[in-house]
Homo-oligomer: A and B are copies of this chain.
């Protein structure tokens, strides 16, 4: 479904790391209508490499995120190519000059949009997948009164070492391409992007998925067709600086890395009052159930439900209908609770 309204919130973006980014564009799409008492809003931030479009498989009649019933807000994360990003920021902020932006920076700006522009004091729910889950976590920790329900799919409140090593390898692959030139390239560093896609391929899906030749369900007959037709093709079109911006954000994800919590992750998690569902996938290679279990101990009202799938991290990407239905039902139950 693509019906909805695309708007933008333009304002200076305060950054934890330094000077504000002036006139930052926070592009968001909304689905459905806000009800009279402003109580039916759902926040659904975007994930790495995704825009509002990649969230739309979860939105529609019959889904938990039903625009007939809810007002669904999808803010595009900075760096994703739609909101202010290396690919669209004016000089001197475009390309290799794009500033470092944290999850905290993203969420604080989203808060201004939600409260000042949209006039919402309290969501029905915040939900996100992967980097979207990071934003949802940060929201619930910073603004507990705004987030009564929280669903985090395949994402953690703080990036783990093992997750980081994956991200460092993506960045090293781009930096290995001499066309990259520290971000000041004229032609895209296609070799680096190809390597990024092929690294990602080994993490996004599980070993069991490969053993079951899961790529056939994506329409590829052979492993080689899949690698070239899916990953090479996908990353050839992506922008290296956007990837560098988003991986920087991801690496530095830590909902406690701010003045409020001073690095105390337990306190930042403990501040969450939302009814929370943590949903790691049992075969996710970088967001592990064990990580979610650690988080769960600090939550006031949390539970953990594994996504029972061999689709690994991609179980929540809308590629496998049984997983999508499983998640949808959990969200329906959470909204009804």
Q: Which residues of A contact B (CB under 8 A)?
A: 160-162, 164-166, 168-169, 172-179, 189, 191-192, 194-195, 198-199, 201-203, 206-211, 213, 223, 227, 285-286, 288, 290-291
Using Cβ atoms and an 8 Å threshold, which residues of chain B touch A162?
A: 202, 206-207, 209-211
Q: Is B210's CB under 8 angstroms from A161's CB?
A: yes
Q: Is B288's CB under 8 angstroms from A207's CB?
A: yes
**Please, how many angstroms separate the alpha-carbon atoms of A249 and B191 in the complex?**
23
User: Which of A166, A207, A211 gathers the greatest number of chain B CB atoms within 10 Å?
Assistant: A207
Q: Is B189's CB under 8 angstroms from A176's CB?
A: yes
Given contact pairs A195-B195, A290-B211, A223 touches B164 in the complex (Cβ within 8 A): yes
**Please, how many angstroms separate the alpha-carbon atoms of A137 and B256 in the complex?**
50
Please give the distance in Å from A262's CB to the nearest CB on chain B. 20
Q: Is B198's CB under 8 angstroms from A169's CB?
A: yes
**Please, how many angstroms separate the alpha-carbon atoms of A201 and B171 in the complex?**
14
Please give the distance in Å from A224's CB to the nearest CB on chain B. 10
Q: Is B165's CB under 8 angstroms from A198's CB?
A: yes
**Please, how many angstroms separate the alpha-carbon atoms of A168 and B191 in the complex?**
13
Closest 6 CB pairs of A and B: A176-B191, A162-B210, A172-B195, A169-B198, A161-B210, A169-B199
**Please, how many angstroms separate the alpha-carbon atoms of A209 and B178 in the complex?**
33
Q: Is A176's CB under 8 angstroms from B202's CB?
A: no
**Please, how many angstroms separate the alpha-carbon atoms of A189 and B207 in the complex?**
30
Given contact pairs A172-B173, A194-B172, A211 touches B161 in the complex (Cβ within 8 A): yes
Please give the distance in Å from A226's CB to the nearest CB on chain B. 9
Q: Is A211's CB under 8 angstroms from B160's CB?
A: yes
Q: Is A166's CB under 8 angstroms from B211's CB?
A: no
Chain A to chain B contacts (Cβ below 8 Å), 19 pairs: A160-B207, A160-B211, A162-B202, A162-B207, A165-B202, A169-B195, A169-B198, A172-B191, A172-B195, A172-B199, A174-B176, A176-B176, A176-B191, A176-B195, A199-B199, A202-B203, A207-B288, A207-B290, A208-B290
Q: Is B161's CB under 8 angstroms from A202's CB?
A: no
Given contact pairs A165-B201, A199-B169, A191 touches B178 in the complex (Cβ within 8 A): yes
Known interface pairs A165-B198, A169-B199, A207-B285; 12 further A-B residue pairs with C-beta atoms within 8 A, sorted by A's residue number: A162-B202, A169-B198, A172-B173, A172-B198, A173-B173, A175-B194, A175-B195, A177-B177, A178-B178, A178-B179, A207-B288, A211-B290
**Please, how many angstroms separate the alpha-carbon atoms of A211 and B300 in the complex?**
24
Q: Is B210's CB under 8 angstroms from A169's CB?
A: no
Using Cβ atoms and an 8 Å threshold, which residues of chain B touch A175?
A: 191, 194-195
Q: Is B191's CB under 8 angstroms from A177's CB?
A: yes
**Please, how many angstroms separate the alpha-carbon atoms of A160 and B214 in the complex?**
13
Q: Is B176's CB under 8 angstroms from A210's CB?
A: no
User: Which of A168, A179, A223, A288 gathers the greatest number of chain B CB atoms within 10 Å?
Assistant: A168
From A205, which residue of chain B is reached at the shortest CB distance?
B162
**Please, how many angstroms separate the alpha-carbon atoms of A6 and B210 in the complex?**
41
